Amino acid sequence: MALGVKKKRKLVFSKVVRIGEVTYDGNAHTVTVRLAKPTKGTLQVTVFGGILAADGAFTSGNFLTRVP
């Protein structure tokens, strides 16, 4: 996970954010990530490897998303 920082008027995700806890809910097939410290701003979350979707579909690539 990386926090967005403005450099030369552009948003760059270079500040590393520490993860405090990760939990998985097997019934809902969801993962909850709690940060070690609260942060403000946009986070970029990158997951390497495969992801199993709630409908059973499986991706073999990487997943990248931004969380406001």
Domain ranges of the chain: 2-67
Cα–Cα distances in angstroms (integers) from residue 27 to residues 31, 33, 50, in the given order: 11, 17, 19
What would the pLDDT profile of 15-56 be if each residue is shown by its tens digit? 888 999 999 999 998 889 899 999 888 888 887 777 778 888
**Sequence-distant (≥ 6) Cβ neighbours of residue 10 within 8 angstroms:** none
Supply the pLDDT for residue 1.
63
Supply the pLDDT for residue 59.
73
| pLDDT at residue 5 greater than cutoff 80 | no
Q: In the block, which residue shows the tokens 């520490």?
A: 18
Supply the pLDDT for residue 49.
75
Supply the pLDDT for residue 29.
87
Q: In the block, which residue shows the tokens 């909850």?
A: 32
Supply the pLDDT for residue 21.
94
Q: Provide the edge-to-edge strand list for the sheet that holds 2-7.
A: 10-16, 2-7, 43-47, 63-67
